[in-house]
């Protein structure tokens, strides 16, 4: 059975497949172009995203916007989402069973959007999407081609907030991502 984007959004908004549904304020469906060339996937919504119901509205969102601007992209041209659609308490990493409950939503988003490139923002997304043994510090900015899609990972914007030295490397990774479009 095929579902539309709006139907998928309704499923996410009413989901109770894991305990995170009991503690969230708002589930956070992805946002952006429904015909993106680039799909960005992070691990889970944070506090501000849980409040707003929109991905990357907090301090990490400002870093992401700066990185996008650096390569001439806007949020309207890309699509932003998370592996897990509800905010884990205390910003903890999403547990494997929470990821398992949500992964069908991410797979269906990807199926509907058909991006040319999937960019994992951070270790958790990279380990879920690219490889369980993925090492973000060693492998960020490298590409893998799978199922007609380029996959890569970069540092999560929150890692740049904690260690601003990572900004330059991440800008270079973003430049390579845009180069892959052409």
| pLDDT tens, position by position, 42-79 | 999 999 999 999 999 989 999 999 999 999 999 999 99
- All residue ranges of the chain with pLDDT < 70 are none
Q: What is the pLDDT of residue 16?
A: 96
Q: Are 73 and 36 in contact (CB under 8 A)?
A: no
- C-alpha–C-alpha distance, residues 92 and 95, integer Å: 9
Could you tell me the CATH number of the domain that includes residue 113?
A: 3.40.470.10
State how far the alpha carbon of 109 is from the alpha carbons of 40, 41, 63, 112, 147, in Å: 11, 11, 24, 5, 15
Q: What is the pLDDT of residue 139?
A: 97
Place of tokens 């996008």: 68
- Domain span holding position 40: 5-180
Question: How many structural domains compose the chain?
Answer: 1
Q: What is the pLDDT of residue 182?
A: 81
For the record, the structure tokens of 66 come out as 């700066």
State how far the alpha carbon of 82 is from the alpha carbons of 105, 121, 138, 141, 168, in Å: 10, 9, 22, 19, 24
Q: Which residues pair with 40 in a beta bridge?
A: 80, 119
Q: What is the pLDDT of residue 2?
A: 86
Q: Calculate the average pLDDT of the chain.
A: 96
Place of tokens 């999403």: 94
Give every CB contact of residue 181 below 8 A, 6+ residues apart in sequence.
Answer: 37, 38, 116, 117
This prediction has a pTM of 0.96
What is the chain's length? 182
């Amino acid at each position: 059975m095929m579902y539309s984007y709006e139907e998928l959004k309704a499923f996410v908004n009413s989901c109770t497949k894991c305990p995170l549904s009991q503690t969230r304020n708002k589930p956070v469906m992805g946002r952006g172009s429904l015909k993106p060339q680039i799909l960005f996937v992070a691990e889970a919504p944070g506090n501000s995203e849980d409040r707003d119901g929109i991905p990357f509205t907090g301090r990490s969102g400002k870093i992401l916007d700066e990185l996008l601007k650096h390569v001439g992209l806007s949020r309207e041209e890309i699509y932003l989402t998370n592996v897990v659609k509800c905010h884990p308490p205390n910003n903890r990493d999403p547990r494997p069973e929470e990821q398992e409950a949500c992964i069908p939503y991410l797979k269906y988003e990807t199926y509907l959007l058909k991006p040319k490139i999937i960019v994992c923002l951070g270790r958790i997304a990279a380990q879920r999407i690219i490889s369980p043994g993925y090492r973000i510090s060693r492998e960020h900015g490298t590409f893998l081609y799978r199922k007609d899609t380029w996959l890569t990972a970069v540092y999560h914007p929150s890692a740049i907030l904690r260690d601003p030295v990572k900004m330059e490397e991440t800008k270079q990774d973003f430049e390579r991502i845009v180069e892959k479009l052409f």
